[in-house]
Structure 1
Amino acid sequence: MTLAQNRVFGRLDVVRAWADLADAGVNYSQAEVRRPGWNIDTHRSGLPAERPGGPEPGGPWELACALVRDYDFTPPEIVRAVYDPQGPLLGRNLLLQARFHLMHFFCGVRVTEVLDESRDNGDRVWGWAYETLDGHLERGKVTYEVIKHQRSGEVEFVASSYSQGAPTLDRVTLLGWRLFGRRTQLRFYRRCGERLREFVRAQSRGEEVFPGPRLRAGHLVCAPKDATPHRWDALALHRVAPG
């Protein structure tokens, strides 16, 4: 089963577009990041708890880490991605499809940080961060963390970010961003937490949350695993690297 056959990304040659990301650089400098010109957000979502102490084998923390690693928590109605699962997580390029109704924007991000640590306060943390690449409709960084508070047993998912719209957006993309961008961005983070909590609960009960095969394009895979084509995808307005 291939992405081309299923038109998950409409008419786009995703293999070529993903390959082009290898030559792209991060499109901002951290020295630029400051309010009020940038949105700085932290979104926390509670997950099923464990007993106090270290992460339980096969427990909610480990289940959540696996879902976050594969980018399967992202809501497919808002954002989809293709990437090479064979390479290391650090340095991984993802071609994202941001979906604003019938406007689809294809942008690149790169994983620039992987977190795997126990903090001084007793928290056990795993996660990763990506930064936006040249041509992205935004500039900034998103960090996804799965945290177990080992003293209490509480487990949570934290998405923290700083971002702003790219200053070089073309007229059509700028219109879409002004109409839907910030509102969709906040809905994205809310839906990420909701989906991750739902999936972890289901898997903890022994349920299979992704019964179908993952869509592929050559050596690339599509995330999330439950992304399916929509009959209007081929008619959507496509913009590749609009920034």
Structure 2
Amino acid sequence: MTSGASRDRVFGRVDAARVLRDLADARVNYAVEEVRRPAWNIDTYGAALPAEGPGLPDPGGTWERACRFVRDYEFSPPRIVRAVYDPEQPLLGRDMLLEARFYGLHFYCGVRVTEVVDRWSGDARVWGWAYETLEGHLERGKVAYEVVKRCDTGEVSFVVSCYSQGSPALGRVVRLGWQLFGRPTQSRFYRECIARLQRFVESAPDQPPGRSTRTGQLVWAPSDARAYRLDALAIHRVAPG
């Protein structure tokens, strides 16, 4: 491993460690009072995971395994969105630098984990977390990822709920690209998140999809995300919104 600033250049030419540090001073870029249709997209995606027996979550069972994958952001399809964060930070309040990849364009945007869900909802055991977008993000909004077990039936599911809109601060060219491709890419991202988690829980019950990668003290997520030489040739935009 190289020393100095170069080791923190996780994504091509971008000094991820510096950008991540700068997020500490960034604020959430919207107010909840603004969220309403039709200006905002309000969505829920969900799918079943392998069921358990009725009752509390089984030790080492579907619900617990899925929670581990969700905690570590392993469900994110790395060809669309990958992330870097400091694992020493508590989950609640953690800043994450996301890299949204669209062909030769790579956008670097900050989010902050503002909620950790750990509750009972009737007969359902629910665990998960949510992040909100920070200043400079392509979008404005919030996404919650939750693993749910219905203890009366044993059914286990993964639910993604979100509200969002494109940032009004986007430049003209990026705004046009968002209007043309943003919504389809967003929907595809959430569908692939669900499909990945289903696949991992079913076929690799205890292991992440790849070997965890660290750059300095930072962790890449998901663990099968990799840097490629051609990444350096992409157009990199930090905080495009």
- TM-score, L = length of structure 1: 0.94
Distance, in Å, in 1 between the alignment partners of 2:8 and 2:117 is 35
Specify the SS of the correspondent of 2:106: strand
CA change 1:45–1:6 in 2 (3 A) is: farther
Match of 1:76 in 2: 78
Deviations 1:135-186 (CA, angstroms, capped at 9, x unpaired): 0010000000000011110100000000000001012322331232100000
Match of 1:32 in 2: 34
* 1:8–1:230 Cα contact (<8 Å) kept: no
Match of 1:210 in 2: 209
CA change 1:4–1:42 in 2 (3 A) is: farther
Once the two structures are overlaid, the 10-residue window that deviates more, 78-87 or 166-175, is 166-175
- Count residues in correspondence: 239
CA change 1:174–1:123 in 2 (3 A) is: same
Q: Which one-letter code corresponds to 2:201 in the other structure?
A: V
Identity score, percent: 63
- For the aligned residues, what is the CA RMSD? 1.7
* 1:8–1:227 Cα contact (<8 Å) kept: no
Q: Which one-letter code corresponds to 1:170 in the other structure?
A: G
* 2:51–2:156 Cα contact (<8 Å) kept: yes
Q: Unpaired runs of 5+ in structure 2? A: none
Q: How does 1:4-153 map to 2 (within 5 A)?
A: 9-120=11-122, 122-153=123-154
Q: Which one-letter code corresponds to 1:181 in the other structure?
A: G
Distance, in Å, in 1 between the alignment partners of 2:210 and 2:19 is 28
Deviations 1:37-73 (CA, angstroms, capped at 9, x unpaired): 0000000011111001110000010000000001111
What is the CA distance between 1:215 and its match in structure 2?
1.9
Deviations 1:107-157 (CA, angstroms, capped at 9, x unpaired): 00000000001112x000000000000000100000000000111101000
Q: Unpaired runs of 5+ in structure 1? A: none
* 2:7–2:216 Cα contact (<8 Å) kept: no
Specify the SS of the correspondent of 1:159: strand
